Chains A and B, each alone.
Chain A
Amino acid sequence: MYSTDQYEGMLAETVVMRGANGDPVQAYFARPLGAGPFPGMVLAHHMPGWDEWYREATRRFAHHGYAALSPNLYARYGHGSPEDVAAAARAEGGVPDDVAAADLEAAMKYLRALPNVSGKIGVFGTCSGGRHAVLVASRVAGFDAVVDCWGGGVVMDDDQITPQRPVAPIDYTAGLNCPVLGLFGEEDHSPTTAEVARHEEALKQHGKTYEFHMYEDAGHGFFYYHRPSYRQEQAVDGWEKIWSFLGRTLA
């Protein structure tokens, strides 16, 4: 934790990186000022889009000492308000897994190439972003920690398979090579407590390092202070668990 007499500065801005297929993808990049080296965090935004909450979350990671990069996973659906662009992505069944994974991998490599970023990089996501975080860290080498906040669709039954999401992320569990922190709410409908249990069982079977926390009196999106789903006590505890987990895994 910082003290009142220390210097603190931050630079936060939009950058453009090369994502899946070499496409230009805008990303919001917030990092502490200084030579570092800072651990890196890639943020996978949620279904409602690359929105203000994700800008704030990205700056929050920077405030806690991480070089944080949040790519616009809906970059190929045009530009406009985050809601309109997210609706366009929704109309197409969501961003294809291959595209999201490649964009997040590109963000990881963007950070890894910077001289003031340490060799430790994690990935964080909420909602569909939690699923994408688990997905990319299971498919791609180079991540050192995963924070999955209520990612729905990690566990998928056959009738949920679509061309955009052809493989359930849980089926890639063998390839996961870093610790996972999972934060979930008991009242969530996606993922349900049963689906979280199935995910946990798969992690156990494959000998993976993980810690899951299932919060009472919380459902989907309990960090979102602008939604009725917000749960103050659980959100404060969840953020504390994130800082503790990342402090251990990305040190």
Chain B
Amino acid sequence: MCTMIMHKAPVAGFGKGADGWFDMSQANVSWDHPFHAPEEHALNIDFVNEAYGPCARVAVELSVEGARQLVETIQTVLAEAESRGLVQTGDSQTGDSLTGDP
């Protein structure tokens, strides 16, 4: 790791990795060398469940603009869903309790 810019966020949900769906527990967000994106650095997000080992990973490597757009879009979608009464209070807690087999 060269930049050392990395933050972790607890994220409940499911991701589809190389071996199928697994329940993820965390998103590791970094600005560092990407493995695939043709750039020196990228905004990398690894959705992982460390309990299942390093292969339980869903990876994205985003451009700066793409990452900012993604953040805005997520907020927009959540706000719209909330405004239509589709997000119930406590859904985030419900999400935290999601479980599944790796």
Contacts and interface: CB of A to CB of B under 8 A. Distances in A.
A contacts with B: majority SS: loop
Contact of A94 (B1, B8, B18, B57): B1
Nearest to B46: A87
Contact of A127 (B33, B46, B54): B33
B42 interface: no
B19 to A, nearest CB: 10
A53 to B, nearest CB: 12
Contacts of B8: 91
A165 B1 CA distance: 11
B59 A47 contact: no
B4 A189 contact: no
B27 to A, nearest CB: 10
Contact of B1 (A79, A128, A188, A228): A128
B46 to A, nearest CB: 5
B6 interface: yes
Interface in B32-52: 32-33, 35, 38-41, 44, 46, 48, 50
Contacts of B57: 84, 87-88
A78 interface: yes
A219 B4 contact: no
A153 to B, nearest CB: 6
Contacts, number: 78
A47 B33 contact: yes
A83 B6 contact: no
A212 B1 CA distance: 23
B93 to A, nearest CB: 25
A90 B1 CA distance: 6
Select the residue from B28, B30, B44, B55 with max chain A CB neighbours within 10 A: B55
Given A90-B32, A190-B2, A79 B40 contact: no
Interface residues of A, number: 34
B40 A152 contact: no
A93 B4 contact: yes
Given A94-B1, A189-B40, A48 B53 contact: no
A200 B98 CA distance: 54
B38 A165 contact: no
Nearest to B52: A78
Nearest to A152: B2
Given A86-B35, A128-B2, A153-B2, A189 B41 contact: yes
What are the 10 closest A-B residue pairs judged by CB atoms, nearest first?
A94-B1, A80-B55, A88-B54, A84-B54, A152-B2, A91-B28, A228-B38, A80-B54, A78-B54, A83-B35
Interface of A: 47-48, 77-81, 83-91, 93-94, 127-128, 152-153, 160, 162, 165, 188-190, 219-221, 227-229
Interface of B: 1-4, 6, 8, 18, 28, 30, 32-33, 35, 38-41, 44, 46, 48, 50, 53-55, 57, 59
Given A81-B55, A91-B8, A128-B2, 17 more contacts: A47-B32, A78-B54, A79-B53, A79-B54, A80-B53, A80-B55, A85-B54, A86-B35, A87-B35, A87-B44, A87-B54, A87-B57, A90-B32, A91-B28, A91-B50, A152-B3, A219-B40
